[in-house]
Chains A and B, each alone.
Chain A
Amino acid sequence: MKKILIYVSGFAIVAIAVMVLSIASCKKPETIVTPAPPSNEFLTTVIFRCINSVAPFDTTTGVWRELNPSGSLPPDTSKAILNYKKNSTYVCNIYILDESKTATDSLVSTNFNINKLPSTTVNVTTEIRARQNYHLICMNATGGIATNWSFIRTDYDTNNPPLQVGLNDNVTTLATSTGRLEITLHHQPNVKNGTCGPGTDDFDVFYSVNIQ
């Protein structure tokens, strides 16, 4: 009987030793790779709408659209035109939509109302706003408008310090001119610093601009 109990004690000692050794094994580093889940959402349509701050009936809306997510067909730029009056100030908003599931005859026009979209159209703008802390919209005016078209950003994110987002801007025009406006949406996860360099592009669209 005594022998058995001594064996039990020996077992206890061994068990403790095993537990102590197991502590070392439990401290092993662990790594997990998480890919993005499949997504069915696209950015098909980018709308740049500007309303004259002193004459609201003076509104210009440019619609850039690419319904084919693969990009195999060229984008529809027939409505990607912005007409401004010279020496004016405009309040401008960018709207981003997914119209990939919307029938052709229901696609938004330049008279669209963001609050009355077809049920098959997704307003991606709200998602960008929700994720504004790592998104930045950049604008680059070239041609004759380079010196006659300028913007002041009016929306900022909640980073510390706050950084520009770009869904809302005030645009100022000067002399009569024409040119091209490039708008890019930058996705800057953990690298947003207020400049356009970091991250990747979610879209890169162009508008023809006329200042008359």
Chain B
Amino acid sequence: MKNLKLFSFLLILSIGSKAQTTDSPGQSNGFIGVLGGMTMPSGNWTKVAYNDNTSGYAGNGTIFGIEGAYFFSKYVGIGGMVSYSTFNFKGLDSLSAGYQNSFDVDKTTTSVNGGYSMWTFMPGLYLRYPFSDKFSVNAKVLAGFTSTTTPTITCDVFDGGRDDGNFIQQACTANSFGYMAGIGVSYNVLSWLGINLHANYLSCQPDFYMDNINRPANVGRLITEYNQPLGAMSFTLGVAYIFAKSK
């Protein structure tokens, strides 16, 4: 219901804006550019509690991508964003200590090959409010496809001077629907070049099914499925090529 109200509001705004004159400030037809920044995950997947199977051990990361939009009126446009994000693995020491305690062994050596990675392909609606030819505030609501990959976690167990072998939680990729909402400011440095500063919130809920290798004993943290909402706030800086103004 909330989504319907939002859509109706945007539709009315879009139709209304078509009546505006075309020589008011900040009316380029659109833009296409690159962006980069930092990502901050939120939700259960940031937890680092060994005994909580909703813990995802996700930490801050980086994002880069391509974004573009075409404005068919002063305020409203359509566009999209393709982005690639990474999320560091945080709390590896806690995970390794958890394994050591669960198996009650002399030593565990736990490794992770990077962290999470996420591709997003999201079209959607872009809104802007120009204050001058150069400066505008904008917002966007996007929805589309996400593809997220979990890290590979390897734990080697040592006890009594013997290596009891390692077990592996293998990397897993899952696709899901996702949405993104963002606000930001844009400044046109030149008639064809602009800088965008945006804050975006992304949410999706992929259902991961992990393969675990060499887990003969039912001991310790064993994740075979992970289905938690993955939220992430991103702060990006971008440069964009600005399409010519409407005549």
Interface residues of A (CB under 8 A from B): 2, 5-6, 8-9, 12-13, 15-20, 22-23, 26-36, 131, 133-134, 157-160, 187-193, 198-201
The answer on a CB contact under 8 Å between B62 and A22 is yes
B133 within 8 A of A: no
Interface residues of B (CB under 8 A from A): 34-38, 61-64, 84, 86, 88-89, 92-93, 95-97, 99-100, 103-115, 117, 157, 159-162, 164-165, 167, 189-190, 193, 195, 214-219, 237-239
**Complex Cα–Cα for A29 and B84 (A):** 19
Hey, which chain A residues are within 8 Å of B238, CB to CB? 12, 16
The answer on a CB contact under 8 Å between A159 and B218 is yes
Most-contacted residue by chain B among A18, A36, A189 (CB, 10 A): A189
Hey, which chain B residues are within 8 Å of A28, CB to CB? 114
The answer on a CB contact under 8 Å between A16 and B216 is no
Hey, which chain B residues are within 8 Å of A199, CB to CB? 159-160, 162, 164
- Specify the chain A residue showing the minimal Cβ separation from B117: A27
In the A-B complex, list the 9 residue pairs whose CB atoms are closest, starting with the nearest.
A200-B160, A19-B36, A16-B36, A27-B114, A189-B103, A34-B96, A5-B189, A31-B111, A32-B96
Most-contacted residue by chain B among A30, A158, A192 (CB, 10 A): A30
**Complex Cα–Cα for A19 and B238 (A):** 11
| Residues A133 and B217 in contact in the complex (CB < 8 Å), given A13-B239, A23-B62 | yes
| Residues A191 and B104 in contact in the complex (CB < 8 Å), given A13-B239, A16-B34, A23-B86 | no
The answer on a CB contact under 8 Å between A198 and B114 is no
Taking A5-B189, A190-B217 as given, write out 7 further A-B residue pairs in contact, using a Cβ cutoff of 8 Å, ordered by the A residue number.
A8-B189, A13-B239, A15-B237, A30-B89, A36-B105, A36-B106, A189-B157
- Specify the chain B residue showing the minimal Cβ separation from A127: B104
The answer on a CB contact under 8 Å between A158 and B237 is no
**Complex Cα–Cα for A35 and B204 (A):** 37
A/B interface sample: 14 pairs, CB < 8 A: A17-B36, A26-B62, A32-B109, A33-B108, A34-B99, A34-B110, A133-B219, A134-B104, A134-B217, A158-B218, A187-B105, A188-B217, A191-B165, A191-B216
Hey, which chain A residues are within 8 Å of B84, CB to CB? 23
| Residues A33 and B96 in contact in the complex (CB < 8 Å), given A26-B88, A190-B217 | yes
Quote the shortest CB–CB distance from A202 to chain B (angstroms). 9
Quote the shortest CB–CB distance from B162 to chain A (angstroms). 6
Hey, which chain A residues are within 8 Å of B103, CB to CB? 134, 189-190
The answer on a CB contact under 8 Å between A189 and B107 is no
